[in-house]
Structure formats: C-alpha cells, structure tokens
Amino acid sequence: MSPDDRAVGEAERLHPLFLISGLGTSLRGMAGGYAFIAYLAVSGQTWTALVAAVLLLAFLVGSLFVYWTRFEFRVGSSEIRIDSGIFSRTHRSIPFDRIQDVDISQGPLARLVGIAKVKFETGGSSAPGRDEGVLHAIPLERAEELRALVRARRSAGGEAAPTAVEIQQLPVFAMNLGRVLLAGVFNFSLALFAGLIGATETFGEVLGFDPLSREFWLGLLNAGDPIADYILAHRVAAAVAGAALLVLIGLATGIVRTVLREYGFRLDRTEVGLRRRRGLLTRTDVTLPARRAQAAIVGTGPLREPFGWRDLRLQSLASDEGGGGDHVLAPLARDAEVGTILAELGWRPLSPAIDWKRVSSAYVWILALGLAPLLLVAALAALEAPSFALAAAVIVGLLVIRWRGWRRTLYALDDDRLLIRSGWWRRRTVVLPKARIQSIDLTESFVSRWFGVAGLAFGVAGGSGFSAHVIPAVPRESARALRRQLLVLGS
Amino acid sequence: MDGVSEGDSSSDGGGGGGETSLQPVEPGYRHVLRARLLLLWLPLVIAGLVFDNGMLADTPFYGAVSVAVPLVAILVVILAPDRIYRRLRYGLTDRLLQVVRGWLFHTDTIVPFVRVQHLDVTRGPLDKTFGTATLVVHTAGTRNSIVTVPGLAPGRAAEIRDIIREHIRTDFE
C-alpha cells in the first residue's frame, strides 16, 4: 500500500505566529553571525556591521517565511505526515502505532496567543537535537486534539473515539508555591558559586576581597601590629559582606531558576503512565509512559537529607525536554510521596527492611594508593612554599569525600530488582529492575586485583551517558555471584 | 517491536545463566593485531626519528628518542598480540554471550541474547587478509551499547549471529 492510497487528511500549516516565535530560535542559533558583526563593529566598520546585521535579519525572516510556506502536515487515518524542506523536501510519515506520546510545550509568547509546540515521541533513538516529528507552532486546541487522537488510536486500535484522558482528577503529586521556593533554596548551585568566585578574580574589587590572592591570606594570618589589625578588621568585614553577597546571589539564582522551571508542578495519572505539567513562563506538558521507564533514581543531598527531602527522577527511553537525560518526577518530595509516585508506575516502594550490603573498603584504598604519591609531593613542597598546603588539603579533602561516599555506597538485591545507593554529596538510590539490565560488565584492573575486588557496571537504556549504573568495588566472588543471580532472574 | 521496554518477557531455556565455558578466538587474530599495531606504531617511529634528528640534534639527549621509540615499538609489536590474544575469550550458553578481555584493565561482559537489538558481522581489509571476522552486538544500553567479539572465523561469526538472531525473534512472538 503506497502512502497515497491511505486516507490522508487535509494539509495543515503551522500557525502564522511561528514567524515570530521561530525567529527567536533562529536568532539564538546564529552565534557565528553575531561574532562576525561584533568583529566588524569593534574594528570600526560600523556601517558594514549595520548592513550585515540588517542583511542577516532579512535572510532569517525570509528563510523562515519560505520554510513556513513549505511546511505542511496532514493527519491521516493511520499516520501523521509531515512535509518539510525548502530545496530538499522531506516527506515523513509517522504511524500512530509508533507514536509513544505527544509532548506539548508553550513558551511565554506562545501562551499569550494560545499556540503550542508539539513533539511526537517515537521509540526511535534519534540523536539529541535531531527531532523526529515536531510541529513548532499550532493552536493549543489542535495540539490537544492531536494528543487525544493519538491516545485513542493507541489504546483501541484506531476504533474508539477519544476518551477522557485522565482517570482521576486528583493529582498524584503536586507542588505548591512554598514547596517550589523551598526546592529553589536547596537548588543553591555550588557550580554557580565557584563561577562567582572565579568572577571575583576578575572583578574582585567590587566585592572588596579576593580569596585567591596570596596577599589576602597573608594579611589575614600575619595579624599583630596595629596597622595590620586595622587592615584585618576591614578585610574581615569586607570578606564577610562579600561572602554574604555571593550566598545571596547563589540563593536568588537557584530560586529563580527553580520557580521558572517547576512552578505549578503537577503529576497526573493517565492510561499509560504519568502526565507532568510544570513551568512558569514556558509551560510544558509531558507524558511519561510507565512501560518505557528503565530505572528510577531517588536523589537527595547532605543538606536535604536531614529534613527528609528527596527528589525522584525516571530514566526513560525518551530524553526529557531541554536535553536533560532523566525525567524529573518530583523535584522535592517526602518519602511517602516518592512511594506513591512509584506505586503509580506499578513499582513497589522501597521497603525499609532491605538487606543493604556495603562495598569493599578497597574503594577508598585504591584511590588513596593512587593519590599517595601526589600527597607526598604536595606535603614536601608545602615545606618550601606554603601555597602547596592548599593542594595537599584538596587531596586530603578528596580522600575524605571518597571515604564518606564509601560508607554510603551500598547495594541490595530486592527480589526482582537491584538497588544501588551511592554518593555523599549527590546521594542517589537507583532502583533498577532486573529485566531492564541490557548487559553486565565485570571490570578489574591491575590495582583492584591486589585487593581482590571487581566492579560491576550495568548497561541500561536511556539516560544521559554520564549516569552509568556502577557498583564500584565488590569482592570478586560476590560480584560473580551477584551477576549470576541478576542474569538468572533477569531474562 | 518495542523490544527495550517490553523486554521483560521471559524465555525459558535452562543454561543456568552462570559463567560459560570460555573459548579462544582464531589464532589468526594475533596477526590482525600485529598488523594493526604495526600500522599504529610506524608513524610514531617515523615521527620520533624526525623529531630526534630535527629538534634534539644539538642537545645531549640526541639519539635517545631514535633508540627508545623503535625499541618500544618492536617490543609492543612482538609481545602485545600474544598477550591480548591469550586474554581474549568468548563464550556462549543458550541464553547469553560472554566476552572476557584484558589483564591490566580486565573486563568481562555478559549480554543476554534477548537484550540484543541488532547484529553485524564486519570484515575489514586486515580481517580479510588473515581470515577473521568481527561480530558486533548492539544493545539498547547507554553504556556498552556495542559489544564486539573480534577474531572469529567468518563461518563461526555467522553461526553465532544466527544463534542470537533466533533468540531475538522468539522474544517478540
């Protein structure tokens, strides 16, 4: 049956406002052009720069317009067809059977005028940034119609009329503004903090102190004579004020970022899984089919754990909006709420009576062995030049963190799933169903062999490449036994 | 065909799921490795000689690089292939594929057949010269998405591919 034989619906176009909303995206993608124009402007050729800017804008608007006129989509009886492209035309057909779900997101402008971006989630593992089926701007009602249509086809083989999407009106999990703000407080970014300290290197005078300069510390440490005392008093005051300012900026940034992203966070139950809505300016509406979940990750941190706060993410075949690997199911939640969400997905909650096993202390010793020569060199050098004491302190700090991390690195076999707990700073508990393990690596190196330990690494689909699931150092025989158990029950 | 998310259907087949009886790959693979190492080290040796004669000619180190690099290259080309070959083992049960390699950095990978997404048998020019083939197994995992078994006899590679393919098919029925 050729595509033309199918009953294909009427051709539809993107909303004309795509010309404006699309322009923003195009403008963001023209970094090279800006650099060129900036170069022209700086090198004194102001007129050329202006002309170049106008030409660039005209080119962008023109190409967007042509793209818009050449972009059509049709909703047929069994598939959605998207025809696009200016010179090389692409006719893409996406069968309803292959569409896992429809994600809808709206930017601030789109919300004002009632249009939405629609993304068809297919199972294909296309590279990030390469969209399989995206309609950039269509009216919101049409987007919701499409979603209802896709769901109806999927659930009833193309026969049933669109049914009510939500089974129950009460959300599975929701965050009020207070909770969102609290999440923002915990979202205080250390990376940002480090970045700000780096910035004070450059703009140090503004803050009145520069913790990376040697004079600052010499001034602090060589107290004693009245002049030094005077300077010291001012330095300390300036340093305290500067640090407070940094903390405030860090807090404010964390809160603003979190509120923008998580405002009105709400999870609802649907026929296939969970539906998540969130966002203050850009509102997104994403469905997470339970079948596609590969692993659940319950995270917490040294600050959040004492208060009993967790976050819950789901490693899934689809990547979350914004390029993040895992789907956030709850940015800040209590244990009971995490249990409720997991139960919604058909997963047992974590029982407190789990027989956790600790990994071997070789996990610490191997790092200590590796760092010992460095530490020795740094300590010897510190006798000559005190600034090397900082390097030694960093190395000791790394070891202490590893040691703290070791005490929290645990694993357990919980019936049909594997639980891995790890980390001191980023505390994670990974719930990995055996059936989702794609491959198991048992790794040894010439160092770990002395300690008689081996690492286990699990291949799991989805997620970002950096979040591999690993049990670092297990006595060799236990590692083999564990692998045997996982494979017997897993497949 | 949503093999990843629905991969929890079970296929009974005994086999125990434990360690497999491991077997070596074709001896010809040593020659493949040797040729590959030679191709890797030859430019390094040439670069070393050029560097030594061009840059270090007037320093007291003149001559050291010209001796050291070829020496290392010869040692590697002579010794490494046998060691790599000896440590490389693969095994099959009726449910899973195991690949064991390396000593300094030892990895021991197990892939259940039902997790395999698709399969390649590849033969490069070196493989063709020495009569070997490489079996490439793709899984859905982000880590380890590609597991290779190099140095198989072409017939054996095709045979393993067919064994695994059989399991992929039965899993979807």
pLDDT at A475: 93
Q: What percent of chain A has pLDDT over 90?
A: 13
Give the chain B residue nearest A447 (alpha carbons).
Answer: B104
Give the chain A residue nearest B111 (alpha carbons).
Answer: A439
- Quote the distance between the C-alpha of residue A235 and its chain's center: 39
* DSSP track, A104-145: EEE-HHHHHHTEEEEEEEES--PPTT--SSEEEEEEHHHHHH
Q: Which of A315, A470, A480, A491 to mutate to test the interface with B (most CBs of B within 10 A)?
A: A491
Dihedral class, residue A415 (left if φ above 0, else alpha if ψ from -120 to 50, else beta): left
Is the alpha carbon torsion for A486, B1, B2, B4 positive or negative? positive
pLDDT at A459: 85
Ranking A204-218, A304-318, A406-420, B152-166 by mean pLDDT, the lowest is A204-218
Query: Helix crossing, A226-262 with A190-207: angle to 10°?
Result: 140
Confirm if A486 and A440 have CB atoms less than 8 A apart.
yes
pLDDT tier, A49 (very low <50, low <70, confident <90, very high otherwise): confident
A43 or B47, higher pLDDT: B47
Q: Which of B94, B142, B148, B170 to mutate to test the interface with A (most CBs of A within 10 A)?
A: B142
Contact yes or no for A123 and B10 at CB 8 A: no
pLDDT at A85: 79
Tokens at A220, concatenated: 């602090």
Contact yes or no for B115 and A123 at CB 8 A: no
Contact yes or no for A457 and B144 at CB 8 A: yes
Number of helical (H) and strand (E) elements in chain A, helices listed first: 14, 21
Confirm if B4 and A318 have CB atoms less than 8 A apart.
no
* Cβ neighbours for A118, distance < 8 A, ≥ 6 positions apart: A102, A103, A104, A134, A135, A138, A143, A146, A147
- Exposure string over A183-192, b if 16+ CB within 10 A, otherwise e: bbebbbeeeb
Rounded-to-integer distance, Cα A239 and Cα A234, Å: 8
- Exposure string over A242-252, b if 16+ CB within 10 A, otherwise e: beeebeeebee
pLDDT at B32: 93
Per residue in A340-353, pLDDT (tens digit) is 898 888 888 887 78
Is the alpha carbon torsion for A62, A64, A65, A70 positive or negative? positive
Q: Which residues of A touch B17 (CB under 8 A)?
A: 484, 487-488, 490-491
Chain A residues with at least one Cβ partner in B under 8 Å = 123, 125, 289, 291-292, 294, 317, 433, 435-446, 449, 457-465, 468-469, 480, 483-484, 487-488, 490-491
CA distance, residue B109 to nearest chain A CA (Å): 4
Q: Which residues of A touch B96 (CB under 8 A)?
A: 487, 491
Q: Is A297 helix (H, G, I), strand (E, B) or coil?
A: strand
Query: Helix crossing, A46-69 with A18-28: angle to 10°?
Result: 130
What is the average pLDDT value for chain A, to the nearest integer? 79
pLDDT at B9: 34
Rounded-to-integer distance, Cα B150 and Cα B136, Å: 8
Q: Is A468 helix (H, G, I), strand (E, B) or coil?
A: coil
**B89 DSSP β-pair partners:** B24, B100
Per residue in B22-34, pLDDT (tens digit) is 899 999 999 999 9
CA distance, residue A459 to nearest chain B CA (Å): 5
**A396 DSSP β-pair partners:** none
Contact yes or no for B103 and A435 at CB 8 A: no
Rounded-to-integer distance, Cα B135 and Cα B151, Å: 8
Query: For A283, phi and psi rounded to 5 degrees?
Result: -95, 125
Classify residue A206 as exposed, middle or buried by CB count within 10 Å of its CB (0-12, 13-18, 19+): exposed
pLDDT at B5: 34
Give the chain B residue nearest A481 (alpha carbons).
Answer: B18
* Cβ neighbours for A454, distance < 8 A, ≥ 6 positions apart: A442, A443, A444, A448, A473, A474, A475, A476, A479, A480
Give the chain A residue nearest B143 (alpha carbons).
Answer: A459
Contact yes or no for A458 and B115 at CB 8 A: no
Dihedral class, residue A33 (left if φ above 0, else alpha if ψ from -120 to 50, else beta): alpha
Contact yes or no for B109 and A464 at CB 8 A: no
Q: How many residues does chain B have?
A: 173
| Complex ipTM | 0.74
Is the pLDDT at B169 greater than 70, yes or no? no
Rounded-to-integer distance, Cα B164 and Cα B95, Å: 8
Rounded-to-integer distance, Cα A110 and Cα A468, Å: 37
pLDDT at A166: 47
State the number of CA atoms in the 13 A half-sphere of A14 facing the CB.
26
Q: How far is CA A115 from CA A11, A62, A64, A65, B127, in A?
A: 18, 22, 17, 18, 56
A183 or B63, higher pLDDT: A183
- Exposure string over A422-449, b if 16+ CB within 10 A, otherwise e: bbbeebbbbbbbbbbbbbbbbbbbebbe
Contact yes or no for A123 and B18 at CB 8 A: no
Nearest to A317 among B5, B107, B115 (CB): B5
pLDDT tier, A123 (very low <50, low <70, confident <90, very high otherwise): low
Contact yes or no for B142 and A462 at CB 8 A: yes
pLDDT tier, A487 (very low <50, low <70, confident <90, very high otherwise): confident
Is the pLDDT at A206 greater than 50, yes or no? no
**A104 DSSP β-pair partners:** A118, A285
pLDDT tier, A129 (very low <50, low <70, confident <90, very high otherwise): very low
pLDDT at B172: 41
Helix (H) or strand (E) holding A265: none
Per residue in A157-199, pLDDT (tens digit) is 434 334 444 455 678 888 889 999 999 888 876 666 666 666 6
Chain B residues with at least one Cβ partner in A under 8 Å = 2, 4-8, 10-11, 16-19, 95-96, 103-115, 139-145, 147
Q: How far is CA A60 from CA A25, A50, A53, A137, in A?
A: 10, 15, 11, 17
A204 or A239, higher pLDDT: A239
Q: How far is CA A27 from CA A56, A61, A107, A113, A183, in A?
A: 10, 10, 16, 21, 32
Classify residue B11 as exposed, middle or buried by CB count within 10 Å of its CB (0-12, 13-18, 19+): middle
- Quote the distance between the C-alpha of residue A288 and its chain's center: 15
Is the pLDDT at A419 greater than 60, yes or no? yes
Tokens at A256, concatenated: 């603003």
CA angle B94, B99, B101 (to 5 degrees): 160
Confirm if A476 and A360 have CB atoms less than 8 A apart.
no
* DSSP track, A18-86: HHHHHHHHHHHT-HHHHHHHHHHHHTT-HHHHHHHHHHHHHHHHHHHHHHHHT-EEEE-SSEEEEEE-S
pLDDT tier, A220 (very low <50, low <70, confident <90, very high otherwise): low
pLDDT at A211: 53
pLDDT tier, A9 (very low <50, low <70, confident <90, very high otherwise): confident
* Cβ neighbours for A130, distance < 8 A, ≥ 6 positions apart: none
pLDDT at A162: 40
Give the chain B residue nearest A124 (alpha carbons).
Answer: B2
Nearest to B139 among A294, A438, A483 (CB): A438
Q: Which residues of A touch B109 (CB under 8 A)?
A: 439-442
Per residue in A260-301, pLDDT (tens digit) is 888 989 988 887 778 888 888 888 888 887 877 888 999 888
Give the chain B residue nearest A490 (alpha carbons).
Answer: B8
Nearest to A439 among B7, B18, B115 (CB): B115
Contact yes or no for A317 and B144 at CB 8 A: no
Contact yes or no for B141 and A460 at CB 8 A: yes
Residue reference for tokens 């070196």: B126
Q: Which residues of A touch B83 (CB under 8 A)?
A: none
Q: Which residues of A touch B14 (CB under 8 A)?
A: none
Contact yes or no for B10 and A491 at CB 8 A: yes
Is the pLDDT at B100 greater than 90, yes or no? yes
The Cβ of residue B88 has, within 10 Å, a number of other Cβ atoms equal to 20
Q: How far is CA A240 from CA A110, A192, B91, in A?
A: 44, 19, 64
Nearest to B145 among A442, A449, A459 (CB): A459
Is the pLDDT at A488 greater than 80, yes or no? no
pLDDT at A126: 44
Nearest to B141 among A438, A443, A490 (CB): A438
Strands A327-333 and A357-358: unpaired
Q: How many residues does chain A have?
A: 491
CA distance, residue A149 to nearest chain B CA (Å): 21
Contact yes or no for A461 and B95 at CB 8 A: no
Nearest to A439 among B6, B104, B139 (CB): B139
Q: Which of B92, B105, B110 to mutate to test the interface with A (most CBs of A within 10 A)?
A: B110
CA angle A393, A394, A400 (to 5 degrees): 85
